[in-house]
Amino acid sequence: MYKRIIRPLLFKFDPEEVHHFTFSALKNFGFLAKLFLPKPIVDKRLEREVFGLKFKNPVGLAAGFDKDAKLFNELSDLGFGFIEIGTLTPKAQAGNDKKRLFRLKEDSAIINRMGFNNGGVDEAIERLKKNKNVLIGGNIGKNKVTPNEEAVSDYKICFEKLFPYVDYFVVNVSSPNTPNLRELQDKKPLTELLSTLQNLNLAKPKQKPILLKIAPDLTDEQLLDIIDIIKETQIAGVIATNTTLSRENLVSENKSETGGLSGKPLTKRSTEVIRFLSEKSGKAFPIIGVGGIHTAQDAIEKLDAGASLVQLYTGFIYEGPELINEINQELLKRM
């Protein structure tokens, strides 16, 4: 129903306006979704225990969709095993100028240059206090006006404030839409950042997993550095991958727009990164696979490559909520 009726209608309008409309509709009329969408699969065999947390199934929603923790309960009701909110920054910020979100329909892709638009960590916390037992990841970043030399302070603020309200953390240094942010992926600043957060974590009575979200555009040498950094800082794992700056083999008219590309063009590269990290590290840490998952087979390939869990974003927009069930059904068949 989604791909035949709902998607063609939604795709007639500006993608960012559609996003806000969809949020409003789910918030106010989410109960109707239960009438028209397949019932989410609930099966004990789908449960996964990863970095000490129990996931009801391995299919999560990636960060960027519910930036401000406005809809995590409703989105969980669609069948997601976990919801990642953010990216959140210490202070609210408007993000980059509009227009900043573009569909590439012929490529089944999206380009965004949103720029960490969010209402700030404090506003999100007020909503997280109403969590109805949804497993939540908190994706954190720095404000645009904060220079890289002071970035650690922004991540510390978000970490400390969010700590009571999320189940795991994701350190986002790989978005291409905040100036110079990806420089924090270099070995020295990244080690300093992750070590600082891990020391804060270890000082708590009970620690929470810290994950690093990386770009798909890293070289093999840089990926080997990532493995070394994770082992050195003892953080829990990696999310592979964020959006890409590559524009290889695109055909849509929006292909020249600046920003991060997500969707089907990223499927192969994100899986390659997962496999590289898994094999070269000797499966030393869990990986959440994200990037170009549009079919159940795409998800299976990432799990076979070494991912413990997967996340959807662009595939969720193009394929609809049914994709969650399709992946879980395929996993059950494989059992």
Binding-site residue positions for substrate: 67, 112-116, 172, 177, 242-243
Nearest to 85 by CA among 126, 136, 134, 132: 136
CA 175, 137, 263, 93 dihedral sign is: negative
- 3-state SS class at 77: helix
The 10 Å CB-count burial string (b at 16+, else e) for 147-168 is eeeebbebbbbbbebbbebbbb
Cα separation, 160 vs 154, whole angstroms: 10
Give the active site residues.
Answer: 175
Based on C-alpha coordinates, what's the Rg of the chain?
18
Q: Report the binding-site residues for FMN.
A: 63-67, 87, 139, 172, 213, 241, 263, 292, 313-314
Cα separation, 55 vs 44, whole angstroms: 10
User: For residue 8, with 0-12 CB atoms within 10 Å meaning exposed, 13-18 middle and 19 or more buried, which class applies?
Assistant: exposed
Question: Is residue 266 a contact partner of residue 288, using CB atoms and an 8 Å limit?
Answer: no
The 10 Å CB-count burial string (b at 16+, else e) for 200-236 is bbeeeeeebbbbbbbbbbbeeeebebbbebbeebebb
Residue 277: how many other CB atoms lie within 10 Å: 26
CA-CA-CA-CA dihedral for 132, 133, 135, 138, to nearest 10: 50
Question: Which ranges of 37-107 does DSSP label H, i.e. alpha helix?
Answer: 72-77
Task: Mention every residue, 6+ apart, whose C-beta is less than 8 A from residue 297.
Answer: 330
Task: Mention every residue, 6+ apart, whose C-beta is less than 8 A from residue 309.
Answer: 48, 50, 55, 58, 59, 60, 81, 82, 286, 288, 289
The pair of structure tokens assigned to 85 is 């909110």
Q: Report the binding-site residues.
A: 63-67, 87, 112-116, 139, 172, 177, 213, 241-243, 263, 292, 313-314
Residue found under tokens 């129990």:
54
